[in-house]
Amino acid sequence: MRKNIIAGNWKMNLDHAAGLELFAEILTLINDDVKGDQKVVVCPPYIHITSLTQLLKGNPTIAIGAQNCHHADSGAYTGEISASMLKSSGAEYVIIGHSERRAFFAEDDLVIAKKLDSVLKNKLSPIFCIGETLEQRNTGTHFGVIESQLKGAAFHLDEAQFKKLVLAYEPVWAIGTGLTAAPEQAQEVHAFIRSKVAEQYSHELANELTILYGGSCNPKNAAELFGQEDIDGGLIGGASLKARDFIDIIMVFNS
């Protein structure tokens, strides 16, 4: 049985007080109904991580994640944060390869591969993002793009390592645009990702892999998206900044 995950990506939003306030609201609204096999991951800016993990007080349903890390453990990399530092702050997940990192910080498959290695070495769970641009979709090259992102950044991992990944399919044209992928469009790509993982590793691993959808997911469209056979949850940007919306998305798995 695959684990369902709803991860909130706060991006570069909310100062410390506002971050604590939102998280406290989420904790209050999340009730005991959240199923045991479902995980909620909140990925705030780095500066909130320690405080949020302290507020968790061992709550097994929620975990804290980061939005990025450097691939080295330590060293002269001014302004950077390593996976080992995140681990020591109480984070359990790290988003790797988000399209905004690829587009604005020139991250390529090579550096993303190194980051995945470092996150796994430090016993954190990567949320590894892949997805095509609008141009790539319009020219019908999206399956090739997805395959090359998988090969370039993650297929060097052995089966035991790959098993620890959470994948997120995020079509770049749907992120923050209000243009959600149609459930069938997302399902088609999720099934494709699973088939490539089965080819590279095994059917068993592919069947157990949690693959999230991300891109303008909200309380109105979440049920239809998560109802697709190969969609196991969501990576939520804008809607994760509103406690009520985030909880309503989480509760899709409980209805």
249 close to 236: Cβ distance less than 8 angstroms: yes
211: tokens are 């693959």
Q: Which of 131, 214, 219, 233 binds ligand PGA (CB under 6 A)?
A: 214
Q: Of residues 71, 98, 142, 190, which has the active-site annotation?
A: 98
List alpha helices for the chain, DSSP H: 16-29, 49-56, 83-88, 99-104, 109-121, 134-138, 142-153, 159-162, 183-200, 203-208, 222-226, 243-250
The least CB distance from residue 235 to ligand PGA, in Å, is 4
Whose CA is closest to 230, among 203, 192, 200?
Answer: 192
Q: Scanning residues 236 to 255, which ones bind ligand PGA (CB under 6 A)?
A: 236-239
Whose CA is closest to 213, among 229, 247, 236?
Answer: 236
14 close to 52: Cβ distance less than 8 angstroms: no
Q: Of residues 132, 142, 170, 190, which has the active-site annotation?
A: 170
Which is nearer to ligand PGA, 201 or 250 (by Cβ)?
250
Residue 8 in contact with ligand PGA, rule: CB under 6 A = no
Residue 84 in contact with ligand PGA, rule: CB under 6 A = no
Q: Which of 4, 6, 9, 153 binds ligand PGA (CB under 6 A)?
A: 9
Residue 149 in contact with ligand PGA, rule: CB under 6 A = no
Instruction: Respond yes or no: is residue 98 known to be catalytic.
Output: yes
Which is nearer to ligand PGA, 198 or 223 (by Cβ)?
223
Q: Which of 19, 97, 131, 215 binds ligand PGA (CB under 6 A)?
A: 215
Which is nearer to ligand PGA, 42 or 175 (by Cβ)?
175
Q: 1 exposed, middle or buried (CB, 10 Å; 0-12, 13-18, 19+)?
A: exposed
Which is nearer to ligand PGA, 44 or 214 (by Cβ)?
214
Region near ligand PGA per CB under 6 A, out of 59-67, 134-142, 234-242, 244-252? 234-242
Angle 112-177-192 from CA coordinates, rounded to 5°:
50
Q: 152 exposed, middle or buried (CB, 10 Å; 0-12, 13-18, 19+)?
A: middle
Instruction: Respond yes or no: is residue 190 known to be catalytic.
Output: no
Which is nearer to ligand PGA, 13 or 202 (by Cβ)?
13
Beta partners for residue 211, in sequence order: 167
CA distance 166 to 23: 23
Residue 211 in contact with ligand PGA, rule: CB under 6 A = no
Residue 127 in contact with ligand PGA, rule: CB under 6 A = no
Residue 105 in contact with ligand PGA, rule: CB under 6 A = no
Locate tokens 């016993």: which residue?
A: 123
The least CB distance from residue 140 to ligand PGA, in Å, is 23
Residue 171 in contact with ligand PGA, rule: CB under 6 A = no
What are the residue numbers of the active site? 98, 170
Binding-site ranges for ligand PGA (CB under 6 A): 9, 170, 175-176, 214-217, 235-239
